[in-house]
A and B are shown apart, each in its own frame.
Chain A
Amino acid sequence: MSKLSLTINNHKVTTEEGTSILEAARSAGIDIPTLCYHEKLAPRGACRLCLVEITKGQRKRLVTSCVYLAEEGLKIETESEPVVRIRKMLLELMLASSPGVKAIQDYARRYGITRSRFDIEPDFCILCGLCVRYCNEVKGKNAIGFVGRGTNRKVMFFPDIAAEECPKCGECFPLCPTGVIPSNYALAKLPHFTYDNIRL
């Protein structure tokens, strides 16, 4: 692996070829916010919080730092004006849909967002997909997955696989930034609870 040098927020950073901007920045002690990134998983670029601004020649553009690989001589701004403007809006949008999630509250505080201008419609899951991707990529089981599209997107256990696999695994539980996955699982496992007599 050859070494690359880049400039992140005016600091010289050396990294190895094949490293993402996000990993390079974090290893140099520069934090870029993320919600859908995990070192054990292939980057997905879904939360968009890790967007950074890169300069190539005269051209500036926004890229997803968890996916974009470091290049020799690349100039990167992780807190430029457009980046911060986007992060603030994304956090404000997420505060409306998941106001109670600590990870979002912490980032919101960091960017000076105290309240959302949007109507609060609270949901627990933030759809980061860590559980889904872990089950698929690391365990190869697909006991949990996304269903639906757009705002109807949901994370669901697939009962036939989950009944078989989840009791002996549960490795995705600690990955969940909201705790909703272990909670939902526990609810489904309540003693004396049965679906048998429920008419859905």
Chain B
Amino acid sequence: MPRLKSATDLEARRQEILARRDPKRPCVTICSGTGCHAYGSEKVAQAFAAEIGKNGLKEKVDIRRTGCHGYCERGTIVVIFPQEICYLRVKPEDVPEIIETTLVKGEVVERLLYEGEDAQKIIHEGDIPFYKHQSRIVFGPNRFIDPKSIDDYIARGGYAALAKVLSGMTPEAVLAEVKKANLRGRGGGGFPAGTKWETTRNAPGEPKYVIVNADEGDPGAYMDRSLLEGNPHSVLEGLTIGAYAIGASQGFVYVRQEYPLAVENLNAALEQARDYGLLGKNILGSGFDFDVMVHRGAGAFVSGESSALMTAIEGRVGEPRPKYIRTAISGIWGKPSNLNNVETWATVPLIIDKGADWFSGIGTKGSKGTKIFSLVGKVNNTGLVEVAMGMTLREIIYDIGGGIPGGKKFKAVQTGGPSGGVIPESLINTPVDFDELNKVGSMMGSGGMIVMDEDNCMVDVARYFLNFLSEESCGQCVPCREGIYQMLKILNRICAGQGRSGDIELLEEIAEVVRDASLCALGATAPNPVLSTIKYFRDEYQAHVEERRCPAGVCKELISYYIDPKKCQACLLCLRNCPVEAISGGKNLVHVIDQDKCTKCGACLEVCPTRFGAVVKLSGVPVPEAVSAGTEVKRKTRGEK
């Protein structure tokens, strides 16, 4: 493939690609993001290839494996072009029917369509409520592109922004545009990217470096992963534009080793971009040289912190250092180094392409553009969602997420990953915006959003995150290492029903010191889960400590299962399902749980028929004395409640 030597060459290549492609030709696109991959999307893709061959359609139909579409709840997602018919939860066995009905007859397979509340079927992806309320400007192209094909990216106008920059914009003009757009860092801090770029550009010292932070480590968050897997060229294009503006000739992508598909697709993208002359020496004939190296991280959450990440790139242990001189001025090997997150870089080409005014027209006063969130937890539609800044949490959870499953009551949403905080129902109208989320004691973070319902215990939630952080703290500074450890110990004993009076206050006291005294942002934000749960759910902590009661019925040491002898119909279900044989009784005999044997797994409650409702979960009250063995059941008569 001859290298592209100018912007004109790139446009000619694009036209050439488009001319080769017939927009009317059917194309089966199969989501091959991590979620769908886990559902078996590769088997679906292979089934399509085999069936299309069998039906003699090989010359008439294309197959494309795309990046993540976002609606991971309903994978594997298959979209058939040109009609854009969207099939959900496609299994390999559905493939012959899709081919027969849609590709041969041109009809729709009704049963694989999205079904709305009123049993109405929806054909197009964009009309599904999950997608309808989103603004997928950064994440959207994923579903049209084969991440391993640079032609797919170019066909959709990819690298046009880079060509525009290299053929007619000065680095200063690029900087001015990004500053004007007020793009804020998507990795968590929300620092204005343009200002950071300018600092690095103006800092003394050569060479300068640009870095992609793809060390996404928050439990339950995978937006950076899906972007890097699904559309690696958009990240590379943004990075190259940034390098030009900053004056860097070397870039790094720090990506987790645990993201093998991202590494694979990224390396493929790098190779193609080099072949096309979009990386390397004299990019698009402009005289600008830039290349990128991939650095695979070894699985430390703290390495996402800028100074730790740069130390790791240098080949040393990824531990943060105190930085009164910012990494933008003194980063990798003491050279000016500009670090931005995957999503931030992927947003850059859009700003150049469509202009700062277009970008800053989206969002709120202080937070422009869109943000990708990974919407997970107790919500009907889990997946990746991209919304305009300023959308309220309520809209995200209810309009896009489809509300809470099983008719349960919403309790709180945890944003910002392990260092974020929980936001209670009373603040559910808070808009997603860097500053507004900080105000309510949480943060944007990199975009994790975990929805919780009435069955989530807030003390347990705080404990979960502290446990994560205690394992991920690097351990060099005292407040983070010892403070998190002691907070976790207190949370553990509160959950175990051994909370002491004064524990809540002690937690707050430690939390404040850890927040104020820690060396890096991991420690400084680590107390957020504790402080925010105490702030909004103090009564729940008090119930644990003072009444030995877990209101949500989660903490095992504080709950007991009990069979109401008046309601038990001796159906034997719980008795048979108890994994530790803690239930005695028999035919016609009231079932009784041996509290000493019970491991509180809840299997009995789950299997007890709702019409009996005999098994109950108790917390904070003593278990009533068991009936004597051999007591016969009181049969319900017909119609009796």
Instruction: Report A's interface with B, CB cutoff 8 A.
Output: 44-49, 51, 62-64, 67-69, 82, 85-86, 89-90, 93-94, 96-97, 117-119, 127, 129, 146, 148-153
Check if A86 sits within 8 Å of B474, measured CB to CB.
no
The one of A46, A149, A152 in contact with B478, judged by C-beta atoms closer than 8 angstroms, is: A46
Check if A93 sits within 8 Å of B475, measured CB to CB.
no
- Tell me the bound Cα distance from A35 to B473 in angstroms: 20
B485: chain A residues within 8 A (beta carbon): 150-151
A153: chain B residues within 8 A (beta carbon): 474-476, 481
- Tell me the bound Cα distance from A64 to B477 in angstroms: 12
A118: chain B residues within 8 A (beta carbon): 486, 489
Given A150-B475, A152-B475, are A96 and B321 also a contact pair (CB < 8 Å)? no
- Tell me the bound Cα distance from A153 to B481 in angstroms: 9
- Tell me the bound Cα distance from A46 to B321 in angstroms: 9
Check if B509 sits within 8 Å of A69, measured CB to CB.
no
Given A45-B322, A86-B513, are A150 and B479 also a contact pair (CB < 8 Å)? no
In the complex, residue of chain A having the shortest beta-carbon distance to the beta carbon of B518: A48
Check if A67 sits within 8 Å of B324, measured CB to CB.
yes
Check if B517 sits within 8 Å of A62, measured CB to CB.
yes
Check if B324 sits within 8 Å of A82, measured CB to CB.
no
Check if A86 sits within 8 Å of B516, measured CB to CB.
yes
Check if A146 sits within 8 Å of B317, measured CB to CB.
yes
The one of A45, A68, A89, A117 in contact with B477, judged by C-beta atoms closer than 8 angstroms, is: A45
Given A86-B517, A89-B509, A89-B513, are A150 and B478 also a contact pair (CB < 8 Å)? no
Q: How large is the interface on B (under 10, 10 to 19, 20 to 34, 35 or more residues)?
A: 20 to 34
B474: chain A residues within 8 A (beta carbon): 149-150, 153
Given A67-B322, A69-B324, A96-B486, are A47 and B475 also a contact pair (CB < 8 Å)? no
Q: State whether the Cβ of B232 lies closer than 8 Å to any Cβ in chain A.
A: no
Q: Beta-carbon contacts of B367-409 to A below 8 Å, as 1s and 0s?
A: 0000000000000000000000000000000000000000000
- Tell me the bound Cα distance from A43 to B322 in angstroms: 9
Check if B478 sits within 8 Å of A151, measured CB to CB.
no
- Tell me the bound Cα distance from A85 to B508 in angstroms: 13
Instruction: Report B's interface with A, CB cutoff 8 A.
Output: 300, 302, 317, 321-322, 324, 470-479, 481-486, 489, 506, 509-510, 513, 516-519
The minimal Cβ–Cβ distance linking B97 to chain A, given in whole angstroms, is 52
Check if A93 sits within 8 Å of B486, measured CB to CB.
yes
Given A67-B324, A86-B517, A117-B506, are A46 and B486 also a contact pair (CB < 8 Å)? no
Check if A48 sits within 8 Å of B477, measured CB to CB.
yes
The one of B472, B478, B483, B509 in contact with A47, judged by C-beta atoms closer than 8 angstroms, is: B478
Check if A129 sits within 8 Å of B478, measured CB to CB.
no
- Tell me the bound Cα distance from A44 to B317 in angstroms: 14
A48: chain B residues within 8 A (beta carbon): 477-479, 517-519
The one of A63, A64, A68, A129 in contact with B476, judged by C-beta atoms closer than 8 angstroms, is: A129
Check if A45 sits within 8 Å of B473, measured CB to CB.
no
The one of B471, B476, B519 in contact with A127, judged by C-beta atoms closer than 8 angstroms, is: B476
- Tell me the bound Cα distance from A94 to B483 in angstroms: 10
A69: chain B residues within 8 A (beta carbon): 324
Given contacts A45-B519, A94-B482, A152-B475, 19 further A-B contacts (CB under 8 A): A44-B322, A45-B477, A47-B478, A48-B478, A48-B479, A67-B324, A85-B513, A86-B479, A90-B517, A97-B482, A119-B489, A127-B481, A148-B475, A149-B473, A150-B473, A150-B474, A150-B485, A151-B475, A153-B476
B478: chain A residues within 8 A (beta carbon): 46-49, 90, 93-94
The minimal Cβ–Cβ distance linking B519 to chain A, given in whole angstroms, is 6
**20 residue pairs A–B, Cβ–Cβ below 8 Å:** A44-B321, A45-B321, A45-B519, A46-B476, A47-B477, A48-B519, A69-B324, A82-B516, A89-B483, A89-B517, A90-B478, A93-B478, A93-B479, A96-B482, A117-B506, A146-B317, A149-B302, A151-B470, A151-B485, A153-B481
The minimal Cβ–Cβ distance linking B61 to chain A, given in whole angstroms, is 51
- Tell me the bound Cα distance from A85 to B477 in angstroms: 17
A151: chain B residues within 8 A (beta carbon): 470, 473, 475, 481-482, 485
The one of B302, B473, B479 in contact with A90, judged by C-beta atoms closer than 8 angstroms, is: B479
The minimal Cβ–Cβ distance linking B243 to chain A, given in whole angstroms, is 30
Check if A44 sits within 8 Å of B506, measured CB to CB.
no
B324: chain A residues within 8 A (beta carbon): 63, 67-69
In the complex, residue of chain B having the shortest beta-carbon distance to the beta carbon of A89: B513
- Tell me the bound Cα distance from A111 to B575 in angstroms: 60
Check if A149 sits within 8 Å of B479, measured CB to CB.
no
Check if B472 sits within 8 Å of A149, measured CB to CB.
yes
The minimal Cβ–Cβ distance linking B597 to chain A, given in whole angstroms, is 31
Check if A150 sits within 8 Å of B472, measured CB to CB.
yes
The minimal Cβ–Cβ distance linking A73 to chain B, given in whole angstroms, is 17
- Tell me the bound Cα distance from A47 to B518 in angstroms: 9
Q: Which of A44, A49, A129 has the most CB of B within 10 A?
A: A44
- Tell me the bound Cα distance from A167 to B518 in angstroms: 37
In the complex, residue of chain A having the shortest beta-carbon distance to the beta carbon of B474: A149
- Tell me the bound Cα distance from A45 to B518 in angstroms: 10
- Tell me the bound Cα distance from A99 to B317 in angstroms: 29
- Tell me the bound Cα distance from A109 to B516 in angstroms: 23
- Tell me the bound Cα distance from A63 to B321 in angstroms: 13
- Tell me the bound Cα distance from A45 to B321 in angstroms: 8
A82: chain B residues within 8 A (beta carbon): 516
Check if A62 sits within 8 Å of B516, measured CB to CB.
yes
B489: chain A residues within 8 A (beta carbon): 118-119
Check if B477 sits within 8 Å of A46, measured CB to CB.
yes
- Tell me the bound Cα distance from A86 to B510 in angstroms: 9
The one of B302, B322, B482, B516 in contact with A93, judged by C-beta atoms closer than 8 angstroms, is: B482
- Tell me the bound Cα distance from A51 to B514 in angstroms: 13
The minimal Cβ–Cβ distance linking B524 to chain A, given in whole angstroms, is 11
- Tell me the bound Cα distance from A119 to B516 in angstroms: 23
B321: chain A residues within 8 A (beta carbon): 44-45
The minimal Cβ–Cβ distance linking B297 to chain A, given in whole angstroms, is 14
A152: chain B residues within 8 A (beta carbon): 475
In the complex, residue of chain A having the shortest beta-carbon distance to the beta carbon of B486: A118
